[in-house]
Amino acid sequence: MPASNAGLTNKVLAVYVKDLRLELRSRYGLNAIFMFGISSLTVISFSVGQAALSTKVLSALYWIVVFFSAMSAMAQVFVREEESGTAMALRLTTEPNAVYLGKLFFNLSLLVVLVAVITPLFFIFTDAPAEGIVNFLLVMILGVLDLCAATTLIAAIIARASVKGALFAVLSFPILLPVLIVLVSATDKVWAGSSLGEVSKLLQFLLAYVVIMVTASLMLFKFVWED
Amino acid sequence: MWWKILLFLVMSAVIVTGFITEAPQKQIGEASRIFYFHIPQAWLCVVAFAMSAFYSARFLKNRKLIDDDYALDTARLGFIFCLLATITGSIFAKVTWGAFWNWDPRQTSIFILLLIYGAFFALRSAVEDEDRRATLSAVYSIFAFVTVPFLIFVVPRMVTSLHPTDSVIDENLKFTMGVQVRSIFFSSLAAFSVLYFWMLSLTMRLNRLKRKQMTGTD
Amino acid sequence: MISSLNLELRQGESVAITGPNGSGKTTLLKLLLALLRPSSGKVTYYDDDRVLSREELRHRISFVSPYLSLYDQLSAEENLQFFTAVRGGNITGKNIDSLLLRVGLDGRGMDLVSEYSTGMKQRLKYAVALSNKPDFLLIDEPSSGLDDSGKAMMTALIEEQRAGSIIIIATNEKEEYSLASQQCRLDQ
């Protein structure tokens, strides 16, 4: 049904633009994510700045910074709706899929901004190899997609829980661990000079994970949202 | 009643024969006997998780709180089996590889399963309202279950293909498993499974009675 | 909490739900809005004989309540635009102006809602509720936060809407009983 799809696109866009606008006015998520990312990068730089680290260690450090920075702000997009009492209005006026997809794209934008700032700094602070940068970017983009795909539903869950605290990281970590292992391994390989062909299995894994997580989220989100 | 006696006999037979017959894997030797007990535990850890996802889905469909009780029951049992599998696995790792923990892909998988169970319980304790707790934990349980194929089939295979030295048992045993080993192993697997379903049906009955009592006194 | 209730309304009919605090007025509204699931029983909306799906209902129902908040960090106009867009529609600047004029917020459309007083927020909620020309209008505590001119505006609005839609009002103010054509009292 193309008509209803076009309708959904507009609704998704409305939610996404609204969240972007709120974010630009409060800058809560951006501030949190940057403070977290830059603090942890600084710690890394101070502690290991001069040491020549293997690409294996560097890739682990990189994804640890990205993962925990993301954790600091990605639940906000749902928590904000619940805490300001606007979730009810949203629930009454639009379909769950529009909310989920709008928030998914918002989180994606937040994370893209994060890696766009963190990655150059990471290359400056550490001696991560600059060759193979195109392959690295591909791995990075897939990683960002994976992080968003898995955490947006969890953000919706914790926004509905009575105690939030560290719950977001607690719930996300086990689901993302396989992805993080593969991401670290793929980043290590492209930094060590592997071609895309050599890491294609890993890339397929990352892509399959995005597809499965988004599909599962679309099926499950309405239960979380409308309960 | 008869099957309970049978279960007792089979379990005893598995334990006795597991120790008096020849060790199932020649290279590893005596330590490989743990295979008769460790693998059924790991297997049930996944089965219990699948059952939890099943009852979670049924809860989301029918909205009966008893299904949420069942999902919790099987998750608790699964957690116990998961712990047992982790402990037996790391004892084996100490004996054969020299360290209790060395992030072999299989160890990673079971560790993530432990974390998922832990996260499931943490989520349940963080939601006060009964209906909402049931819904949120059901969604989480299904969502986490979707990642299990990645844990069990994809990650170990991918990482072993990168570090081919690690795991010896799985590759070799498939080819070297003789009739004797096979019969002990599958008896053990069956006995453990029956044990699990028995324990599950007991806790499920307990919960049905509790629910009945609650609606009765209201 | 609510044990037995049978209520049937047709176009042009309206009902005031009354009852002491804690009798379940808000709960009943939430059930009608499908924000809560009834433990037994059913809420059904019809267009002639056809049952409306949840998706269709979203386009045709509006709710005004002290518990329902609009976006503080958006202006009144942006709120109106947003709530029309997430329903899948769009609203012209002229419509926005006339809605704001209708609720007495003309000239304040560009201000952030966080700068509004409680009464102005309530007025804006009416504007948002009317923006989709609802067939079903549910109102919890209609005069919450409104001053005298606000109350007059609200009364006129409801009078105007009554002919074309079904209106359900939950209230404890005696003077608001007359906003609806019938009354339904909930007892504890």
Mean pLDDT of A78-93: 91
Is A18's pLDDT higher than 80? yes
The shortest CB-CB distance from A220 to any of B122, B123, B142 is to B142
DSSP of A26-83, one letter per residue?
H-HHHHHHHHHHHHHHHHHHHHHSSS---HHHHHHHHHHHHHHHHHHHTTHHHHHHHH
Of chain A, the end-to-end C-alpha distance in Å amounts to: 27
Q: What is the pLDDT of residue B56?
A: 96
| Residue B121: closest C-alpha in chain A | A171
- Per-residue pLDDT tens digits for A109-165: 999 999 999 999 998 888 888 888 899 999 999 999 999 999 999 999 999 988 877
CB within 8 Å: C86 and A15: yes
Give residue B183's pLDDT band: very low, low, confident or very high (50, 70, 90).
confident
Mean pLDDT of A75-90: 90
CB within 8 Å: A181 and B155: yes
Residues in A closer than 8 angstroms to B154, CB to CB, are 178, 205
At B107, is the secondary structure helix, strand, or coil? helix
CB within 8 Å: A93 and C86: yes
Asked if C36 and C30 count as a contact pair (C-beta separation under 8 A), the reply is: yes
Nearest to C170 by CA among C12, C61, C31, C17: C17
Tell me how many domains chain A contains. 1
CB within 8 Å: B119 and A170: yes
Residues in A closer than 8 angstroms to B155, CB to CB, are 178, 181-182
More confident residue, A69 or B32: A69
Is A3's pLDDT higher than 50? no
The stretches in chain C having pLDDT less than 50 are: none
Please give the sequence-ordered ranges of beta strands (E in DSSP) within C53-144, or none if there are none.
61-64, 136-140
Q: What is the pLDDT of residue B163?
A: 38
- Number of CB atoms found within 10 A of residue B114's CB: 18
CB within 8 Å: A174 and B115: yes
Nearest to A142 by CA among A96, A190, A192, A99: A190
Q: What is the pLDDT of residue B164?
A: 36
Is B162's pLDDT higher than 70? no
| Residue B124: closest C-alpha in chain A | A161
Residues in B closer than 8 angstroms to A202, CB to CB, are 158
Give residue A1's pLDDT band: very low, low, confident or very high (50, 70, 90).
very low
CB within 8 Å: A171 and B122: yes
- Å from A78 to nearest chain B CA? 14
Residue A55 CA to residue A60 CA, distance in Å, equals: 8
Nearest to A141 by CA among A203, A55, A215: A203
Nearest to C170 by CA among C23, C57, C70, C44: C23
The shortest CB-CB distance from A11 to any of C33, C71, C85 is to C85
DSSP of C153-172, one letter per residue?
HHHHHHHHHHTTSEEEEE--
Torsion of Cα atoms, C121 then C127 then C128 then C133, to 10°:
160
Of chain B, the end-to-end C-alpha distance in Å amounts to: 35
Mean pLDDT of A47-71: 86
The domain locations on chain C are: 14-185
Whose tokens are 């909306």? That residue is: C45
Chain B interface includes A163 (CB < 8 A): yes
Chain A interface includes C138 (CB < 8 A): no
Residues in A closer than 8 angstroms to C86, CB to CB, are 11, 14-15, 90, 93-94, 98
State the count of interchain CB pairs (< 8 A) between A and B. 91
The shortest CB-CB distance from C55 to any of A18, A85, A95 is to A95
Q: What is the pLDDT of residue C53?
A: 85
Residues in A closer than 8 angstroms to B143, CB to CB, are 153-154, 175, 216-217, 220
Lowest mean pLDDT among A149-153, B20-24, B209-213, C126-130: B20-24
Lookup: tokens for B90: 């790391």
Residues in B closer than 8 angstroms to A160, CB to CB, are 127, 132, 136
| Residue C60: closest C-alpha in chain A | A93
Lookup: tokens for B201: 């049906």
A14-to-A90, A102, B40, B125, B195 alpha-carbon distances in Å: 11, 8, 51, 35, 54
Q: What backbone phi and psi angles, to 5 degrees, belong to C75?
A: -80, 170
Mean pLDDT of B185-205: 93
Q: Looking at the domain C14-185, which fold is it?
A: Rossmann fold (3.40.50)
Mean pLDDT of B84-113: 85
Q: What is the pLDDT of residue B156?
A: 64
Residues in A closer than 8 angstroms to B129, CB to CB, are 162
CB within 8 Å: C71 and A10: no
Q: What is the pLDDT of residue B176?
A: 53
Chain A interface includes C83 (CB < 8 A): yes
Beta bridge partners of C137: C62, C167
Q: What is the pLDDT of residue A225?
A: 92
Mean pLDDT of A182-186: 91
Is residue A129 packed enough to be buried (19+ CB in 10 Å), middle (13-18) or exposed (0-12)? middle
- Residue of A203, A206, A214, A227 to mutate for B, most B C-beta atoms under 10 A: A227
Supply the range of the domain harboring residue A66: 2-226
Asked if A110 and A80 count as a contact pair (C-beta separation under 8 A), the reply is: no
Q: What is the pLDDT of residue A52?
A: 78
* Helix spans in chain A (H): 2-26, 28-48, 55-73, 76-83, 87-93, 96-125, 133-160, 167-191, 200-226
